[in-house]
Structure 1
Amino acid sequence: MIKSKILVVDDEPHIVELIRFNLVKEGYNVISAQDGLKAYEMAAEYKPDLIILDLMLPVMDGFEVCRQMQKNPELSEIPIIMLTARSEEIDKVLGLEIGADDYITKPFSPRELIARVKARLRRATVKQQNPDKNGQVIHIEGLTIDSDRYEATINGRRLDLTPKEFELLRVLVLNKGRVLSRVLLLENIWRYDYIGDTRTVDVHIRHLRQKLESDPANPVFIETVRGVGYKFKEKS
């Protein structure tokens, strides 16, 4: 199994070593940089699977690293978790607006950081499995999904879906044939900070089947994989 590569960027060596220790223990490959310019250069050279990026950096701060990465098509999709001693809401909002995917403040719990890393990598895996852009209309098995209009039809009949049901259907279709766990679906559709249990997914799947399937008790499109999750069936 290929290990994910993570770039850790912080100008405090003990912070880098703390993060490195915990990531390596979880089986990740770790590279590091101590200033923003070096971080950008290493991102361009090594194409890490995720970056843990401090905001307060010499040479180039974390905000500018984010901005430069967003301008580079080869780097713009790399997930970024911003790490900083700052706790002001304005910094958090700015960081997320310019391209960061998550935000954690110092002092932090290594356990929480690892959980966020795993969540972001899982989301990135789903994204990579499907290069389709949000605005693309998807056609499959008589089903049409229009992300711009937030509409779905089956054989010309419009499906009256809630926003969460629409997102659930879209993620399943874009990952057709691939089993998606309940936890992964929660993280991608309800987001990481959603408070609830995996039964939420089961309820939404049941409602989605009632609207999509001609016989919800014997689904043709959405298959349950016992003990794991769900998948959109590939045409045999």
Structure 2
Amino acid sequence: MHKILIVEDTLPIREEIFDILTMEGYAVFQAENGEIGFKMALKEKPDLIISDILMPEMNGFEMFEKLNKNKKTKSIPLIFLSAKGEKRDIRIGMNLGAEDYLRKPVNIDDLVSVIKNKIQ
């Protein structure tokens, strides 16, 4: 069973993605900010991380940079899911090495399709 970590500070969004991915057969873990997400990635070693960008404690870009500097987590693919949709933000995310960058509100079928494409 593939493991996915959702790093999202907005509880309703996090829970909706959790429920859908659980129904799709994934083992899903949740974190409400980048600091907790980083620690959880070290502990759970997910197959994929879905992360918001604008979060308290540590934002998604900072978390991804930290993940990329750690031997245990640098190979974990990450998809940014954010309301920040300007070209500059997308470019920053992709330049950091993100697998994809999806804008909120996201079509759930599109999200599931991207996930399946990245980890199967």
Question: Is the Cα–Cα contact under 8 Å of residues 67 and 99 in structure 1 kept in the other structure?
Answer: no
Question: 1:3-40: per-residue Cα shift (whole Å, max 9, x none)?
Answer: 10100010000001110111011100110000110000
Aligned equivalent of 1:73: 71
Name the CA distance, whole Å, in 2 between partners of 1:36 and 1:74.
17
- Please tell me the residue identity of whatever aligns with 2:39: E
Question: Is the Cα–Cα contact under 8 Å of residues 82 and 95 in structure 1 kept in the other structure?
Answer: yes
Q: 1:116 aligns with which of 111, 114, 117?
A: 114
- Please tell me the residue identity of whatever aligns with 2:88: I
Residue 85 of structure 2 corresponds to residue 87 of structure 1:
yes
Higher relative contact order (CA 8 A, sep 6+): 2
Aligned equivalent of 1:51: 49
Task: Give percent identity, aligned residues only.
Answer: 39
Question: 1:49-84: per-residue Cα shift (whole Å, max 9, x none)?
Answer: 100000011100000011001111211110101010
Q: 1:101 aligns with which of 85, 99, 120?
A: 99
Unaligned runs of 5+ in 2: none
> In proportion to residue count, which structure has more helix?
2
Aligned length in residues: 120
Structure with max Cα Rg: 1
Question: 1:173-226: per-residue Cα shift (whole Å, max 9, x none)?
Answer: xxxxxxxxxxxxxxxxxxxxxxxxxxxxxxxxxxxxxxxxxxxxxxxxxxxxxx
Name segments (4+ residues, structure 1) moved above 4 Å. none
- Please tell me the residue identity of whatever aligns with 2:101: Y
CA positional deviation for 1:99: 2.2
Name the CA distance, whole Å, in 2 between partners of 1:43 and 1:99.
17
Name the CA distance, whole Å, in 1 between partners of 2:19 and 2:44.
20
- Please tell me the residue identity of whatever aligns with 2:98: A
What secondary structure sits across from 1:78 in the alignment? coil
Name the CA distance, whole Å, in 1 between partners of 2:9 and 2:42.
19
Residue 26 of structure 2 corresponds to residue 42 of structure 1:
no
Unaligned runs of 5+ in 1: 123-236
Q: How does 1:137-216 map to 2 (within 5 A)?
A: none
TM-score w.r.t. length of structure 1: 0.50
Name the CA distance, whole Å, in 2 between partners of 1:69 and 1:98.
11
